[in-house]
Amino acid sequence: MADPASTAARREAVLQRVQQVLLAVTEDLADAVASTADEDKKARLANALYKITRGLRQSIYLEAKLEREDAEAREAAVQRAISAAEPRIVRRRAHIESRIERRIWDEYDAGDDDESALGDELIARAEEWLDEASEAEGFLDESLESLVGRLCAFLGLHLDPATEPRNLERHAAAPAWPNSS
């Protein structure tokens, strides 16, 4: 099977050459039409000029169509990759959210109205952080411990090494997601 990149390059080179030839013939025919006094010959040359310029226009439109199709194919490939990653992102987010909610309710009493409101606010901030983080490049590549640690640090939550996985404290010192404030 031919390499798509080399096929596209070859196609582009052929179209450019066809356009060059048609443009040269168009210019020659236009000069011939302008310099001919014989009306019958002028009509035949004008008809040939029309046919040649039609071919030139078609080659230009074909090139534009192929470029659009290539761009659409690239966009479709990106969308397929995003769709394939989406279930993994959803699972990862759910795992992080459950761990963060557990940490929040370990620190804040859901029965106390003030602490409950603060816990709800922290959960909302965590969801905003996760919205941004899950769209960032590398979200699926970074370890869960690192993401949970950075989110805890962002929210100002205390990390208890006895209840959290090893190495979580090390990640808590890392800055929040790059665009989070």
pLDDT reading at 171 higher than 60: no
- What percent of the chain shows pLDDT beyond 70? 86
User: What type of residue sits at position 120?
Assistant: D
Q: Within 10 A of 16 (CB to CB), how many other CB atoms are there?
A: 12
- Using 50, 70 and 90 to split pLDDT, how confident is the model at 50? very high
Tokens 């397929």: give the residue. 80
pLDDT reading at 57 higher than 90: yes
- Using 50, 70 and 90 to split pLDDT, how confident is the model at 38? very high
Q: pTM surpassing 0.75?
A: no
CA distances from 74 to 67, 68, 70, 77, 152 (A): 11, 10, 6, 5, 38
